[in-house]
């Protein structure tokens, strides 16, 4: 197996999902890739003051600054790409935006006017696993990538903003930390993986629309499955097993995530779906993954030790 390395550069960075871009790397199943991505905005310099723009790698950026596509030799639709996160190390600074954008949520909170902006600028200490901002407040870090995805179809350019039930993308799930494996059904030949949008810390929901946004050095091992335990996008994480739902309707997103978790429980324990739903009711937590990206994200979390057998 081979260990590859990639850096964000004008040759490797992109702000859309597309299967029509030449791969920046071709890996073989079982290979490991270490990739350094910039923040979602693609800042090439540290901000000196909260909310102050600095140069970006991609001019007139349309979406997240990602690295990709990474081709996986032999991958084909019908298979499942397994992305195992071996290590995630944030850069030493990050930012969080808040308010000042006219969204439905901000209007409800009285924070849609540009005068209500409240950006934060963070110093990230990898050694202590903490980040502190200009207010003198800190949080514990738990690094992950907000965007891990495949082109939803073989043609066209597709926004990086909404998460999709086909291809994934801007999932923003805080449980995808080191040790987690994300399973993405392959949508196009060679899979064509795009990654980026490093988050040093985030709560469920990502309620301001941003986390502690930062550059990230990610080491991940890529493999292929012919058969997965459940349909759709799902994960096995240190916190437990996770199934996802993505939809403009929160109820629909919730139903999809729960439906697939019910299937996973039923298949694992050889019980009926009705029995599995009853078990889910006492063992599974339903969480709003993110509220910020035009599409609701919901995940069902089953801790590894929740069902005793």
Show the tokens assigned to 205: 């929901």
pLDDT recorded at residue 166: 95
Q: Which domains does the chain have, with CATH numbers?
A: 3-225 (2.60.120.580), 234-302 (3.10.28.20)
Asked if 182 contacts 60 with a C-beta cutoff of 8 angstroms, the reply is no
pLDDT confidence of residue 293:
79
Three-state DSSP string of 187-216: CCCCCCEEEEEEECCCCCECCCCCCCEECE
> What's the confidence (pLDDT) of residue 55?
96
Write out residues in the chain with pLDDT < 50, as ranges: none
User: Looking at residue 102, what is its pLDDT?
Assistant: 87
Buried b (16+ CB within 10 A) or exposed e, 177-206: bbebbbbbbbbbebbbbbbbbbbbbbebbb
pLDDT of residue 309: 83
Model pTM score: 0.96
Structure token digits, residue 172: 């923003």
Instruction: Please give, one letter per residue, the 3-state secondary structure of the chain.
Output: CCEEEEECCCCCEECCEECCCCCCEEECCCCEEEEEECCCCCECCCCCCCCCCCCECCCCCCCCCEEEEEEECCCCECEEEEEEEEEEEECCEEEECCCCCCCHHHHHHCCCCHHHCCCEEEEEECCCCEEEECCCCEEECCCEEEEEECCCCCCCEECCCCCECCCEEECCCCCCCCCCEEEEECCCCCCCEEEEEEECCCCCECCCCCCCEECEEEEEEEEEECCCCCCCCEEEECCEEEEEEEECCHHHHHHHHHHHHHHHHHHHHCCCHHHHHHHHHHHCEEEEEECCCCCEEEEEEECCCCCCC
Yes or no: say if 276 and 269 are a contact pair by the CB < 8 Å rule: yes
Tell me the backbone φ, ψ of residue 109, rounded to 5 degrees: -90, 0
pLDDT tens digits for range 11-27: 999 999 999 999 999 99
- Residue 155's alpha-carbon distances to 21, 28, 53, 151, 188, in angstroms, are 10, 24, 33, 9, 10
Instruction: Please count the other Cβ atoms lying within 10 Å of the Cβ belonging to residue 134.
Output: 12
User: Which tens digits make up the pLDDT trace of 54-106?
Assistant: 999 998 889 999 999 999 999 999 999 999 999 999 999 999 999 888 888 88
d(CA 118, CA 114): 10
């Amino acid at each position: 197996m081979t260990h590859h390395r990639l850096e964000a550069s004008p040759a490797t960075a992109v702000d859309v999902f597309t299967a029509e871009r030449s791969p920046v790397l071709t890996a073989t199943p079982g290979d490991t890739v270490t990739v350094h991505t910039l923040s979602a905005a693609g800042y090439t310099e540290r901000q000196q003051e909260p909310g102050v723009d600095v140069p970006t790698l991609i001019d007139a950026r349309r979406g997240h600054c990602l690295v990709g596509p990474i081709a996986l030799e032999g991958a084909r639709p019908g298979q499942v790409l397994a992305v195992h996160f071996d290590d995630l190390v944030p850069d030493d600074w990050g930012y969080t935006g808040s308010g000042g954008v006219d969204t439905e949520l901000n209007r409800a909170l009285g924070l849609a006017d540009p005068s209500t902006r409240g950006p934060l600028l963070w110093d990230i200490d990898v050694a202590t696993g903490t980040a502190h901002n200009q207010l003198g407040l800190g949080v514990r870090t738990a690094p992950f990538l907000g965007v891990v995805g495949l082109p939803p179809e073989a043609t066209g350019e597709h926004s990086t903003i909404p998460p999709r039930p086909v291809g994934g993308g801007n999932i923003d799930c805080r449980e995808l930390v080191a040790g987690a494996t994300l399973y993405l059904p392959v949508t196009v030949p060679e899979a064509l993986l795009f990654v980026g949008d490093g988050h040093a810390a985030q709560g469920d929901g990502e309620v301001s629309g941003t986390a502690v946004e930062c550059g990230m050095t990610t080491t991940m091992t890529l493999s292929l499955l012919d058969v997965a335990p459940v349909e759709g996008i799902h994960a096995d994480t240190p916190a437990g097993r996770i199934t996802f739902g993505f939809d403009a309707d929160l109820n629909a997103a919730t139903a999809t995530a729960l439906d697939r978790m019910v299937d996973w429980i039923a298949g694992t324990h050889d019980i009926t779906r009705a029995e599995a739903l009853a078990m889910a009711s006492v063992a599974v937590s339903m969480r709003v993954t993110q509220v910020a990206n035009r599409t609701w994200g919901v995940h069902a979390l089953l801790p590894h030790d929740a069902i005793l057998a």
